[in-house]
Amino acid sequence: MANQENLPLYDKIWIKRKFQRSIDILILLLLFSLLCFRLFSIINNTFTIPWFLAFSCESWFTFTWIVILNAKWSPAVTKTHPNRLLQQVQELPRVDLFVTTADHVLEPPIITLNTVLSLLALDYPANKLACYVSDDACSVFTFYALVEASKFAKFWVPFCKKYNIQVRAPFRYFSQVTESEEGSPEFKQEWLQMKDMYDNLSRKVEDVTRNLLPFKFEGEFAVFLNTEKRNHPSIVKVILENKDDLSDGLPHLIYVSREKKPNYEHNYKAGAMNVLTRVSGLMTNAPFMLNVDCDMVVSNPKIIQHAVCILMDSKNGKDVAFVQCFQQFYDGIKDDPFGNQWVAAFEYIIRGMGGLQGPFYGGTNTFHRRNAIYGLDPHENHYGKKGKLAEKTLIQQFGSSNEFLKSVTHAFEGSNYSSSNGISPSSFIDFAIQVSDCGYENSTSWGNQMGWLYGSISEDVPTGLNMQRKGWRSECCMPDQTAFTGCAPGGLLTTMIQQKRWASGLTVVFFGKHSPVMGVLFGKIQIRAGLSYCWLTNWGLRSVFEVCYAALVAYCVITNTGIFPNGFGLWIPLTLFVIYTIHTLQEYLSKGLSLRHWWNNQRMVTMRTTSVWFIGFLRAVIKLLGISDTIFEITQKKTPSSIASGDNVDAGRFTFDESSAFVVGTTILLVQLTAIVVRILGLQLEANSRNGCGVGELMGSVYLVVCYWPFLKGLFARGKYGIPLSTIFKSALLSFTFVHFCRIGVIS
Ligand SMILES: O=c1ccn([C@@H]2O[C@H](COP(=O)(O)OP(=O)(O)O[C@H]3O[C@H](CO)[C@@H](O)[C@H](O)[C@H]3O)[C@@H](O)[C@H]2O)c(=O)[nH]1
Ligand SMILES: [Mn+2]
C-alpha cells in the first residue's frame, strides 16, 4: 500500500476541451474579420459615424470574447481526499462559521435558523467549531429564533448524526423526506418526534415574527427593548457554549449585532464580516473561517473535511487563501426563467478560473484562511512575519484592543491551531462588544488593506482580488455531493435588483484601486487571471456598448442607414451569429440543460445587460463622481411556508411594477418596435448615404424584440403581469425623443 503520508490531500485535474477551443478561436477569427472589413471600408470611403460606432462596439465585443475565451481556455477541477486527512494531520483544525443576516422581513428568521442548524450539525468535531451570526437588523426575532434553534439543536444534531442524515437543514429535510416510511421502528419513532418538534418550532418562530404573539422583552431579550435598526449599542450573546470541550456536543453559537449610529458608515456586509472576524478572533481564533449568507444551507455535512484537504495540503495548499464552493440553489424554477441559477456560467467560467490563479470570491460558501484575511502574504504566513511586529504597527493596523491584538499574534504564530484556549467564549463578551463598536475601525487598516474591503457594494470580488494581489491563490471545492444550496431570487424584480447591485458594485471595483488591472500591474495577479476577472468586473461597462449597439440598430432601420455590409459581405456577421448560437447551445445541452433553459438564459443576458446593468453602470458613475453613494439592496428570500403552500402560481412568470428597473428595458423594446413599424410601413428616410439599411439591421431589431418578448406581453397584460401605465408612459417619452433625434439629426 502506498504511504498515506506522502499522498496529496487533493488533486487538480485539467479538463481537455480541444474541440471547444477550436470553436472559440473560430468565433474570434470571425470577429476579427468583421473588424478588418470595417477598416477596409475606410479605404472604400463608406466610413460613416454609425460605422465608427459599430466598429467601437464590435471592438469591445471582440475584447469581451477574448476575455471569455481566455477564462475558459484551461479549466481545472479539484478532487479532495478526506479519508487521507486524518492520517496526515494529528488533529483537525478549528473552523469558525460565519452567518450574516440584515433584515428580518426580507430574510425571515426561520431561514437563518435553518442555516444555523445545518451548520451546527456538520460532521466535524463539535469542539472545533463555533458559529457566529451577525445580525445587522438588531432584530429580537432573529435572536429569539436562534435561542429556540439552540434548544431544538440538542435533539436535532444527535438525530442527524445517529442516522447519518445528509440534508441537515430541517425545512429542506422534511420537504424531501415527507414520511418516515423506511428504517427501523426506532428511527420511525424518532423521525416523528423530530418532525413534530420542528413543526412546533417553526410555528412558534413564524407567529412571533408575524407579531401574532405578544412579545415579552424580558430576561435575555430585554436588551432589545428600544433598539432601532440603525441606532443601537453592540449586542453580543453567547447562546450555546460547549463548556466541556466535547467533540460530540454542540458547537458554540454566538449572536453578534454590531453597534450602529446614525451618520456612521456601516459598510454593509463587509463591515459585518470584519466585526465577525474580530469577535471570533477573540473567542475562538480558528485558523479557517467559513462564511455563508443566511439562506445558504449545508447540503454536504462533510464539506469542512473537503475544504480543509485543500487548505492543509502540505504541497499545494500553502498558498491557498480561500476555497470557494459553487453557489447552487434549492427549489430553483424549472428551466431558470430569470437566469439566476448560473449553472452554465459556473460550469465554464469558474472552472476556467480554477485552472488559473483560482476562482473569484463569491461572497458565500467560502472557507478563508484567517491570516490571509489579516493581510499576510503566503510567504509571511509560511515563514512567519519577519521579526515581531511592533506593537505600534499592530495597533495601527488592527485597532486598539489589547486582547484582540494578542489573538492576532497567536494567529500569526500559528498557535492555537486546533486546541481550544481553555477559556470559554462568554468570558470575552466585554472585549467582543468593544471590537464591535462603530468607532473601532477608525484609522485602522480594516476594510482598506485587509479584511473585507469597503467601497463597493460587491465587497466579495475586491476582497478576493486583494488577497490574490499578494500572491495567494484560491481553489474551487467540488465534492460529488453539492456543498451548499441557497435561495435564488424568486421573481423578475428581485433578480433585476440583484443584477443592478452587482453591475454597479463591479463597475466601482473595475475603476478603483482594487481592479484586476491594477492587480496585474502592481501586484501578483497573473496576466491571464487578471484578464479572466474582467469577465466579472466589466458587467457594467459591457452594458454601455450593448445599449449603444441596440440603439444603433434601431437608428439604422429608422433612418435607412446601413452598418452591416450589404450583399456578400453580410455572411460575416451572419456566420458569427449562427456559430455563436450553436456554440452556446451545445455548451448547455452537453451539461444536460434543456433547450428552454438555454434560451431563457440567452434572452435574460440580453435583457439584463441592456437594462439593469446599464442602470447599475450609471449608478456607479454617479458614485465615482462623488455625487451620491450606492446602497446595498438586500435580496428577498422566500420562506419555507411560502414555498410549501404552493404560493408559486407566479413561479417563472414575468411580473412588473413601477420600479425604474423596467423603464430602460421597456424603452429598448418600444424603440425596436417603432423601428420595425417604420420599416414595414415604408416610412424610412431616403437612403442618404451609399449604404442603405439592409436585412442585417432589421434582423438585429427583430432579435431584440424576440429577446424582450416577455416585456412585449407585459405591454398588453393587466395587473401585476402588465407593465404599469406610468412606466409605459415614461418609456414612450424616451423612445419618442430618441426617434425624433434620429430623424432630425441624421448622422452620416
Ligand atoms: O448591510 C448588510 C447587507 C447585507 N448583509 C448580508 O449579506 C448577505 C448577502 O446579501 P443578499 O441580499 O443575499 O445578496 P445576494 O445578491 O443574494 O448575495 C450575493 O452578492 C453579494 C454581493 O453583492 C455577496 O455579499 C453575497 O455573499 C452573494 O451571495 C446576506 O446574508 C445579508 O444578510 C449584511 O450582513 N449586512
Ligand atoms: Mn443571496
Q: What is the pLDDT of residues 682-732, one digit of tens each?
A: 887 776 556 778 889 999 999 999 999 999 999 999 999 999 999 999 999
Quote the ligand 2 centre to 665 CA distance (angstroms). Answer: 24
Do 88 and 66 lie in one domain? The reply is no
The continuous run of DSSP H or E covering 484 comes out as strand 484-487
Grid cell digits, residue 257: 449585532
Residues 6+ apart with CB under 8 A from 408: 281, 374, 394, 398
Q: Which residue has the higher pLDDT, 45 or 123?
A: 123
State how far Cα 24 lies from the chain centre.
26
**Residue 747 predicted with pLDDT over 80:** no
Q: Which residue has the higher pLDDT, 565 or 431?
A: 431
Q: Whose CA is nearest to atom 4 of ligand 1?
A: 269
- The DSSP bridge pattern shows strands 366-369 and 320-325 to be antiparallel
- Nearest ligand 1 atom, CA 266: 1
162 known ligand binder: no
- Nearest ligand 1 atom, CA 101: 33
Sign of CA dihedral 22, 26, 28, 29: positive
Do 63 and 143 lie in one domain? The reply is no
Q: Give how far Cα 237 sits from Cα of 140, 283, 501, 601, Å.
A: 12, 12, 32, 44
Q: What is the pLDDT of residue 6?
A: 80
Q: Whose CA is nearest to atom 16 of ligand 1?
A: 498
Quote the ligand 1 centre to 29 CA distance (angstroms). Answer: 40
Q: What is the pLDDT of residue 645?
A: 62
Q: Give how far Cα 339 sits from Cα of 68, 335, 491, 596, 604, Å.
A: 18, 9, 11, 11, 6
State how far Cα 73 lies from the chain centre.
23
- Sole residue written with cell 428600544: 226
Mutation pick for ligand 1 pocket among 116, 364, 539 (CB with most ligand atoms within 8 Å)? 364
Q: What is the pLDDT of residue 664?
A: 96
Q: Whose CA is nearest to atom 18 of ligand 1?
A: 363
pLDDT digits (tens, 9 = 90+) for 202-220: 999 999 998 877 889 999 9
Residues 6+ apart with CB under 8 A from 582: none
- State the CB neighbour count (10 A cutoff) for residue 473: 22
Nearest ligand to the CA of 271 is 1
- Residue 295's φ and ψ, nearest 5 degrees, are -105, 5
Do 126 and 69 lie in one domain? The reply is no
Give CA–CA dist 466/138, Å, rounded: 30
Q: Please name every residue paired with 255 in a beta bridge, in sequence order, or none if there are none.
A: 133, 237
Give CA–CA dist 476/327, Å, rounded: 11
pLDDT digits (tens, 9 = 90+) for 526-571: 999 999 999 999 999 999 999 999 999 999 999 888 888 777 778 9
Q: How confident is the model at residue 380 (pLDDT cuts 50, 70, 90)?
A: confident
- Nearest ligand 1 atom, CA 633: 12
Q: What is the pLDDT of residue 114?
A: 98
Do 106 and 184 lie in one domain? The reply is yes
Give the CA-trace dihedral at 462, 466, 467, 469, to 10 degrees.
Answer: 130
**Residue 511 belongs to some domain of the structure:** no
Do 474 and 586 lie in one domain? The reply is no
Do 49 and 131 lie in one domain? The reply is no
Do 32 and 109 lie in one domain? The reply is no
Q: Whose CA is nearest to atom 35 of ligand 1?
A: 269
Query: Max alpha carbon distance in the chain (Å)?
Result: 87
Which among 80, 55, 145, 134 has a CA at the least distance from the CA of 108? 145
**Residue 382 predicted with pLDDT over 90:** no
Do 586 and 476 lie in one domain? The reply is no
pLDDT digits (tens, 9 = 90+) for 68-115: 999 999 999 999 999 999 899 889 999 999 999 999 999 999 999 999
Q: What is the pLDDT of residue 748?
A: 45
Contact 144, 224 (CB under 8 A): no
Nearest ligand to the CA of 539 is 1
Mutation pick for ligand 1 pocket among 98, 99, 100, 630 (CB with most ligand atoms within 8 Å)? 100
Do 391 and 457 lie in one domain? The reply is yes
CA–CA–CA angle 642, 489, 613 (5° rounding): 155
Quote the ligand 1 centre to 101 CA distance (angstroms). Answer: 8
Quote the ligand 2 centre to 307 CA distance (angstroms). Answer: 21
Q: How confident is the model at residue 640 (pLDDT cuts 50, 70, 90)?
A: confident
Radius of gyration from C-alpha coordinates of the chain: 28
pLDDT digits (tens, 9 = 90+) for 499-524: 999 999 999 999 999 999 999 999 99
State how far Cα 245 lies from the chain centre.
35
Provide mean pLDDT across the span 643-656: 75
Q: Domain containing 394 — which CATH number?
A: 3.90.550.10
Grid cell digits, residue 251: 458547537
Q: What is the pLDDT of residue 476?
A: 97
Mutation pick for ligand 1 pocket among 112, 132, 293, 497 (CB with most ligand atoms within 8 Å)? 293
By annotation, the residues acting in catalysis are: 136, 460
**Residue 642 belongs to some domain of the structure:** no
**Amino acid found at 254:** I
Q: Which residue has the higher pLDDT, 443 or 684?
A: 443
3-state secondary structure (DSSP) of residue 62:
helix
**Residue 374 belongs to some domain of the structure:** yes
Greatest mean pLDDT among 246-260, 391-405, 626-640 lies in 246-260
Q: How confident is the model at residue 140 (pLDDT cuts 50, 70, 90)?
A: very high
Do 438 and 528 lie in one domain? The reply is no
3-state secondary structure (DSSP) of residue 722:
coil
Percent over 70 (pLDDT), the chain? 95
Nearest ligand to the CA of 109 is 1
Q: Give this prediction's pTM.
A: 0.96
Which among 108, 394, 147 has a CA at the least distance from the CA of 253? 147
Q: What is the pLDDT of residue 1?
A: 44
**Residue 182 belongs to some domain of the structure:** yes
Percent over 90 (pLDDT), the chain? 82
Residue 720 region, left (φ>0) first, then alpha (ψ -120 to 50), else beta? alpha
Q: Whose CA is nearest to atom 13 of ligand 1?
A: 635
Considering its fold, how many domains does the chain have in total? Answer: 2
Provide mean pLDDT across the span 179-208: 91
The continuous run of DSSP H or E covering 291 comes out as strand 288-293
- Nearest ligand 1 atom, CA 99: 31
Nearest ligand to the CA of 495 is 1
Give CA–CA dist 543/538, Å, rounded: 9
Quote the ligand 1 centre to 105 CA distance (angstroms). Answer: 14
**Residue 645 belongs to some domain of the structure:** no
pLDDT digits (tens, 9 = 90+) for 328-342: 999 889 999 999 999
Buried b / exposed e along 211-244 (16+ C-beta atoms within 10 A): eeeeeeeeeeeebbeebeeeebbbbbbbbbbbee
Nearest ligand to the CA of 132 is 1
Q: What is the pLDDT of residue 576?
A: 96
Q: Please name every residue paired with 135 in a beta bridge, in sequence order, or none if there are none.
A: 101
- Sole residue written with cell 410549501: 644
3-state secondary structure (DSSP) of residue 365:
coil
Give CA–CA dist 71/354, Å, rounded: 9
Give CA–CA dist 618/624, Å, rounded: 10
524 known ligand binder: no
Which among 305, 275, 253 has a CA at the least distance from the CA of 119? 253
Residues 6+ apart with CB under 8 A from 315: 8
228 known ligand binder: no
Give CA–CA dist 458/19, Å, rounded: 35
**Residue 4 belongs to some domain of the structure:** no
Mutation pick for ligand 1 pocket among 258, 260, 269 (CB with most ligand atoms within 8 Å)? 269
The continuous run of DSSP H or E covering 509 comes out as helix 492-510
Q: Whose CA is nearest to atom 9 of ligand 1?
A: 293
Residue 60 region, left (φ>0) first, then alpha (ψ -120 to 50), else beta? alpha
Contact 617, 503 (CB under 8 A): yes
Q: What is the mean pLDDT of the chain?
A: 93
Provide mean pLDDT across the span 352-358: 97
136 known ligand binder: yes
Q: Give how far Cα 95 sits from Cα of 125, 145, 183, 527, 564, Å.
A: 10, 23, 33, 33, 58
**Residue 644 predicted with pLDDT over 70:** no
- Nearest ligand 1 atom, CA 102: 33
Q: What is the pLDDT of residue 105?
A: 95
Q: Whose CA is nearest to atom 1 of ligand 1?
A: 268
Q: How confident is the model at residue 454 (pLDDT cuts 50, 70, 90)?
A: very high
pLDDT digits (tens, 9 = 90+) for 8-31: 999 999 999 999 999 999 999 999
Which among 254, 15, 20 has a CA at the least distance from the CA of 120? 254
**Residue 640 belongs to some domain of the structure:** no
Between the two ends of the chain, the Cα-to-Cα distance in Å is 77
Q: Determine the structural domain holding residue 212 and report its residue range.
A: 83-490
Give CA–CA dist 206/68, Å, rounded: 45
Do 90 and 65 lie in one domain? The reply is no
3-state secondary structure (DSSP) of residue 113:
helix
Q: Please name every residue paired with 133 in a beta bridge, in sequence order, or none if there are none.
A: 99, 255
**Residue 134 belongs to some domain of the structure:** yes
Q: What is the pLDDT of residue 419?
A: 64
Which among 6, 141, 9, 2 has a CA at the least distance from the CA of 477? 9
Quote the ligand 1 centre to 551 CA distance (angstroms). Answer: 34
Q: What is the pLDDT of residue 743?
A: 83
Q: Whose CA is nearest to atom 20 of ligand 1?
A: 363
Q: What is the pLDDT of residue 674?
A: 96
Contact 183, 163 (CB under 8 A): yes
Which residue ranges have their beta carbon within 6 Å of ligand 1? 100-102, 107, 134, 136, 268-269, 272, 293-294, 363-364, 457-460, 498, 501-502, 505, 632, 634-635
- Nearest ligand 1 atom, CA 457: 23
Do 209 and 240 lie in one domain? The reply is yes
